[in-house]
Amino acid sequence: MKVAMVSEHASPLAVLGGVDAGGQNVHVAALATQLAARGCEVVVHTRRDDTALPRRVALSRGVLVDHVDAGPPSEVPKDELLSYMADFAEELREQWSDDPPDIVHSHFWMSGMAALVAAADSHIPVVQTFHALGSVKRLHQGSRDTSPSGRLAIERDIVRQVDRIVATCSDEVFELARMGANRARVSVVPCGVDRERFSPDGPADSRPPGLHRIVAACRLVERKGIADLVTALAQLPGTELHVAGGPDAAQLEFDPEAVRLRRLAADLGVVDRLHLRGRVSRDEMPMLLRSADAVVCVPWYEPFGLVPLEAMACGVPVVASAVGGQIDSVRDGVTGIHVPPRDPDALARALRELLADPGRRAALGLAGARRVRRLYGFDRIAASTQAVYRDVLNTRSNTLNDREALA
């Protein structure tokens, strides 16, 4: 099976931690690699953001990354990419007219828009994963939402036109239904985790004696809720907070969110217990997670969230806001604790109780590792995704046969 993935802003080759580089990059890279391991030929089409990049780069055996020329060959915030999507779609259309894939899997709304335009002439079926919905973002960010004004209407058009939508959690299914999606054309396949890299076995970061440690890992943007966590830290004496994410550590003094967080910590008297680590590599992340008494993931909203899975895979309990995919992945009272979003007091209470109970932490961590092994390996995710592809292709084939029979 020849699979074309479209991921216009989230390259599987990108360095993680920037404002627009996170879970989607990881998901696309791992899914493509595992699909190739299952016999698929995969090309991931992403926008060129550097003149030095070759047109095509091998990501892994059976996976090529295609750098599509659309807009300036430099970094552009994803919310400013819409005007370049016509060029992006035209590049794809030309490629696919000469060498059509069997199926297209687009990731994010602008990718879906481009994929539908590019695939139309060749009648290639399109599967869509949104990763985030504009309606949810608008609900939680209001006037601070920087999405292009036409995003919601375009997403509704994509919902109506694609052959199948792959939602990453049950919460997303309800929102898609509100947008007019046919439930029969929505499949739920969660994101996954690299169980070899993230496991309970292995080294952990060293830590000072006598202090509890909580860890957060995310992009440094307001909606990730780190300010709520810093506020909660003021109610947690004897506890240090390590935050991985953002630019390299040497550049944190120029990062607006890092500056805001440090100012807040200084005002609350906890700046000596706040450690902004900056960008932490994928190889170093498991050691940081294993060093934690608890990993905290408290975004205001979250389409899925990979960090809870990575922490659970490392055998560490998770305190997570009860939003989006975290409702599915973190089982409240079994693998972690759910808290309301944007509620530092509730967060502090949950952490205070958890940090005071090492037996409970161990039980939650053990259950989390078992849950990830059972449900969230990328081999399983790739198998489920490939099953969706096959169903779409069979449905398309049956429909064409029926039309020919009636002609």
Weakest-pLDDT range from 107-111, 217-221, 290-294? 217-221
Band (pLDDT 50/70/90 cuts) for residue 401 is: low
Band (pLDDT 50/70/90 cuts) for residue 19 is: very low
Q: Is 268 contained in some domain? A: yes
CATH number, domain with residue 270 = 3.40.50.2000
Q: 388 and 362 in one domain? A: no
Q: 269 and 158 in one domain? A: no
Band (pLDDT 50/70/90 cuts) for residue 14 is: confident
Q: Is 336 contained in some domain? A: yes
Q: 179 and 156 in one domain? A: yes
Q: 314 and 223 in one domain? A: yes
Q: Is 207 contained in some domain? A: no
Please report which helix (H) or strand (E) contains residue 278, including its range: strand 274-278
Q: 158 and 81 in one domain? A: yes
pLDDT in tens, 43-58: 999 999 999 999 999 9
pLDDT in tens, 366-384: 999 999 999 999 999 999 9
Q: What is the pLDDT of residue 249?
A: 92
CA distance 53 to 46: 12
Residue with the larger pLDDT of the pair 150 and 402: 150
Query: How many domains is the chain partitioned into structurally?
Result: 2
Cβ partners under 8 Å of residue 151, min gap 6: 109, 134
Band (pLDDT 50/70/90 cuts) for residue 404 is: low
Place of tokens 């992945």: 329
Q: Is 148 contained in some domain? A: yes
Q: Is 198 contained in some domain? A: no
**What global pTM score does this model have?**
0.87
Q: 263 and 177 in one domain? A: no
Exposed, middle or buried: residue 269 (CB in 10 Å: 0-12, 13-18, 19+)? exposed
Q: Is 34 contained in some domain? A: yes
Residue pair 109/7 in contact (Cβ under 8 Å)? The answer is no
Residue pair 203/290 in contact (Cβ under 8 Å)? The answer is yes
Q: 138 and 53 in one domain? A: yes
Q: 135 and 88 in one domain? A: yes
Q: 181 and 102 in one domain? A: yes
Q: What is the pLDDT of residue 402?
A: 59
The one-character DSSP state at 377 is: B
Which domain, by its residues, includes 334? 212-375
Share the mean pLDDT of the chain: 93
Sign of CA dihedral 10, 14, 15, 19: negative
Of the chain, the end-to-end C-alpha distance in Å amounts to 29
What six digits make up the tokens of 269? 């008297």
Q: What is the pLDDT of residue 17?
A: 42
Residue with the larger pLDDT of the pair 358 and 404: 358
Q: 241 and 284 in one domain? A: yes
Place of tokens 């002609």: 407
Q: 264 and 225 in one domain? A: yes
Q: Is 200 contained in some domain? A: no
DSSP 159-220: HHHSSEEEESSHHHHHHHHHTT--GGGEEE----B-TTTS-SSS------TT-EEEEEES-S
- 167, β-bridge pairs: 188
What six digits make up the tokens of 281? 């590599």
Residue pair 313/335 in contact (Cβ under 8 Å)? The answer is no
Residue pair 160/137 in contact (Cβ under 8 Å)? The answer is no
Q: What is the pLDDT of residue 144?
A: 79
Q: 306 and 186 in one domain? A: no
The one-character DSSP state at 374 is: H
Q: Is 224 contained in some domain? A: yes
281: three-class secondary structure by DSSP:
coil
Band (pLDDT 50/70/90 cuts) for residue 400 is: low
151-178 as b/e, with b when 16 or more CB fall inside 10 Å? bbebbebbbeebbbbbbbbebbbebbee
